[in-house]
C-alpha cells in the first residue's frame, strides 16, 4: 500500500508584497485503494462564520412534514408485502418510504419529533438508536427475500449546506443491489487487493495508520477513526473502519454506540471551526464480501459564501469528480484529536 502524492508549486508576483515572487505549494494525493486523486490546496484557516441559526430555523417547523402528528399523516406507507404495518415506529422515530426515491427500496428515518437538533446536541445514544432502528428496517427488507437486499446504506445530509431541504433531522435509508460509484470502486479494488496480497486492504490500512499516527485519531470499541489521506471534503473527511465487519447487517448495538461516540467527538471539534453541516455515509459490502470492511465517511460541509449561497463544490468536483481540501489531513488530525 502506497501513500503517494505529487507535489506542485505555483509562482506569481504578489502586488501586496511589492511584486515579490511568491511560491504557493499544492499537492495531488492518490487514494491508496482506488487511485482516485484529491487536491490539497488553498491552505486557508479552517474557520468559518456560522449564520444566525435561530433565524434560519425560525418558522420552518410550521410547514415541516416530519413534525408532530404530521409525520403519521402526510408521509407515505410501505405496501403490506414489505412492511405490514405501513410505517415503522420506535418511540417518536419513524421510518417511511421516501416520496422521492432513488432506488426500489428507499426510506427516510426521522430522529424523532424534535424539529431542530443543533449539531452538538446529538448524543451517542440517540444516534445509536437511530442507526439501530434503520438496521431493523434493513432486516425486515432482507427477511422478505427482496432482490434489492444486497447493500444496506445509511446516508445523512445534516442541514442545508449538506443537501438537506428540511431542518428536521433525518437519515436516508435504502437497500440496493446497485452499489453507488465510489462504494462500487472500493469494493472492486478491495477484492483485487485481497487477491493480490492475501489480506484485507482495510485491516492493513488501520495497522499502517495506527503505526504512523499521522492521521489516526483513536479506537472506540472495534471502530478505528482517522482523517482520510485523500479526502473528498473541503475541510477533510474522517474515516471510521469497523474491525471484522463486512456489512451493515453485522453491526452490533455496541458498534452503533461506538459510532455515535466517535461522531459526537467529531461534531464537537468541527463545531469549533464554525462548521454546522455534514454528510455521513455508510460504505458496506454485501454479506459474503470477506475482503471488505464496513466503514463510514464523515465529511463536513459549508458554503464558500453564506451571503451568495455559494456551495463548497464547483465544476472541478461536479464534472471531473476531482476534490479540493483546504488543509493537510495531518493538520486536520491535530485539530480533531483533542476530541478523542
Residues interacting with Zn ion, by CB under 5 A? Answer: 64, 66-67, 115, 168
Residues 269 and 338 sit within 8 Å (Cβ to Cβ): yes
Residues 322 and 316 sit within 8 Å (Cβ to Cβ): yes
- CA–CA distance, 228 with 1 (Å, rounded to integer): 14
Give me the sheet containing 88-90, strands edge to edge.
Answer: 88-90, 93-97, 105-110, 170-176, 151-158, 278-283, 295-300, 238-242, 223-227, 216-220
Q: Which is nearer to Zn ion, 159 or 226 (CB)?
A: 159
Q: Which is nearer to Zn ion, 64 or 182 (CB)?
A: 64
Shortest spacing between CB 70 and Zn ion, in angstroms = 8
Shortest spacing between CB 48 and Zn ion, in angstroms = 25
Shortest spacing between CB 18 and Zn ion, in angstroms = 56
Q: Which is nearer to Zn ion, 67 or 234 (CB)?
A: 67
Shortest spacing between CB 115 and Zn ion, in angstroms = 3
Q: Which is nearer to Zn ion, 50 or 115 (CB)?
A: 115
Q: Which is nearer to Zn ion, 92 or 207 (CB)?
A: 92
Listed residue (184, 224, 218, 183) closest to 203, CA to CA: 224
Residue 107 has which C-alpha cell? 426510506
Shortest spacing between CB 168 and Zn ion, in angstroms = 3
Closest residue by beta carbon to Zn ion: 64
Listed residue (79, 102, 77) closest to 87, CA to CA: 77
Shortest spacing between CB 90 and Zn ion, in angstroms = 18
Listed residue (47, 29, 50) closest to 38, CA to CA: 29
Name, in order, each residue with C-beta under 8 angstroms of 121's C-beta and a sequence gap of 6 or more: none
Q: Which is nearer to Zn ion, 20 or 74 (CB)?
A: 74
Amino acid at each position: 500500500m502506497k501513500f503517494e502524492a505529487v507535489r506542485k508549486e505555483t509562482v506569481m508576483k504578489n502586488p501586496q508584497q511589492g511584486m515579490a515572487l511568491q511560491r504557493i505549494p499544492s499537492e495531488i494525493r492518490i487514494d491508496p485503494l482506488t487511485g482516485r486523486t484529491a487536491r490539497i490546496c488553498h491552505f486557508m484557516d479552517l474557520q468559518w462564520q456560522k449564520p444566525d441559526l435561530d433565524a434560519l430555523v425560525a418558522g420552518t417547523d410550521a410547514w415541516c412534514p416530519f413534525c408532530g402528528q404530521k409525520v403519521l399523516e402526510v408521509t407515505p406507507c410501505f405496501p403490506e408485502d414489505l412492511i405490514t404495518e405501513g410505517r415503522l415506529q420506535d418511540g417518536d422515530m419513524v421510518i417511511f418510504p421516501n416520496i422521492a426515491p432513488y432506488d426500489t427500496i428507499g426510506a427516510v428515518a426521522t430522529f424523532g419529533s424534535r424539529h431542530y437538533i443543533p449539531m452538538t446536541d446529538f448524543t451517542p445514544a440517540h444516534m445509536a438508536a437511530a442507526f439501530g432502528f434503520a438496521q431493523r428496517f434493513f432486516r425486515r427488507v432482507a427477511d422478505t427475500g427482496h432482490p434489492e437486499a444486497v447493500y444496506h446504506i445509511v446516508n445523512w445530509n445534516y442541514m442545508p449546506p449538506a443537501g438537506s431541504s428540511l431542518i428536521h433531522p433525518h437519515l436516508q435509508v435504502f437497500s440496493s443491489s446497485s452499489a453507488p460509484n465510489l462504494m462500487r470502486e472500493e469494493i472492486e479494488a478491495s477484492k483485487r487487493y485481497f487477491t493480490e496480497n492475501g489480506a484485507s486492504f482495510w485491516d492493513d490500512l488501520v495497522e499502517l495508520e495506527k503505526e504512523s499516527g499521522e492521521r489516526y485519531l483513536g479506537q472506540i470499541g472495534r471502530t478505528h477513526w482517522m482523517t482520510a489521506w485523500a479526502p473528498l471534503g473541503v475541510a477533510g473527511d474522517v474515516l471510521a473502519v469497523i474491525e471484522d465487519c463486512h456489512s451493515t447487517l453485522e453491526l452490533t448495538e455496541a458498534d452503533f454506540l461506538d459510532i455515535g461516540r466517535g461522531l459526537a467527538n467529531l461534531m464537537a471539534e468541527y463545531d469549533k471551526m464554525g462548521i454546522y453541516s455534514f454528510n455521513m455515509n455508510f460504505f458496506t459490502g454485501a454479506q459474503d464480501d470477506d475482503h471488505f470492511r464496513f466503514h463510514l465517511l464523515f465529511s463536513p460541509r459549508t458554503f464558500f459564501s453564506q451571503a451568495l449561497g455559494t456551495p463548497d463544490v464547483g465544476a472541478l468536483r461536479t464534472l471531473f469528480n476531482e476534490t479540493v481540501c483546504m488543509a493537510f489531513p495531518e493538520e486536520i488530525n491535530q485539530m480533531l484529536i483533542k476530541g478523542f
